[in-house]
């Protein structure tokens, strides 16, 4: 997700794709509280209700491969962008 700035339309398109491909709901750390999934996406970011790290499947998620992500535990640590800025 690095490189040139995306237009708002491109960002919305990528967000929709990430949500459709997202495997968050099958993760051992997932807690359903009605939040939008795809925590790896910069405009979504970390969960407000997932606080316990019980295992991470981010590495096997299709979004990770498609978007070239390198981190994990997006639900508790923030999006790829947030973790890369640390």
> Look-up: residue for tokens 């295992």?
55
* Region for residue 78 given its phi and psi (left: phi exceeds 0; alpha: psi -120 to 50; beta: otherwise): left
Contact 80, 71 (CB under 8 A): yes
Residues 21-31, mean pLDDT to the nearest whole number: 97
Give the model's confidence band at 5: pLDDT under 50 very low, under 70 low, under 90 confident, else very high. Answer: confident
At 6 the pLDDT is 81
Mean pLDDT of the chain: 92
Q: Where do the structural domains in the chain lie, given as residue ranges?
A: 8-84
Distance CA 86, CA 29 (A): 22
At 3 the pLDDT is 54
Quick check: pTM over 0.85?
Answer: yes
At 4 the pLDDT is 67
Q: Taking the CA of residue 16 as centre, how many other CA atoms within 13 Å lie in the half-sphere pointing to its CB?
A: 6
């Amino acid at each position: 997700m690095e490189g040139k700035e995306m237009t708002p339309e491109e960002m919305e398109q990528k967000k929709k794709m990430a949500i459709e491909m997202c495997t968050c709901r099958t993760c051992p750390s997932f807690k359903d509280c009605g939040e939008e999934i795809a925590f790896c996406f910069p405009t979504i970011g970390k969960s407000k209700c997932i606080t316990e790290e019980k295992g991470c499947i981010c590495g096997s998620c299709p979004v990770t491969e498609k978007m070239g992500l390198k981190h994990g535990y997006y639900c508790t640590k923030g999006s790829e962008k947030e973790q890369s800025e640390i």
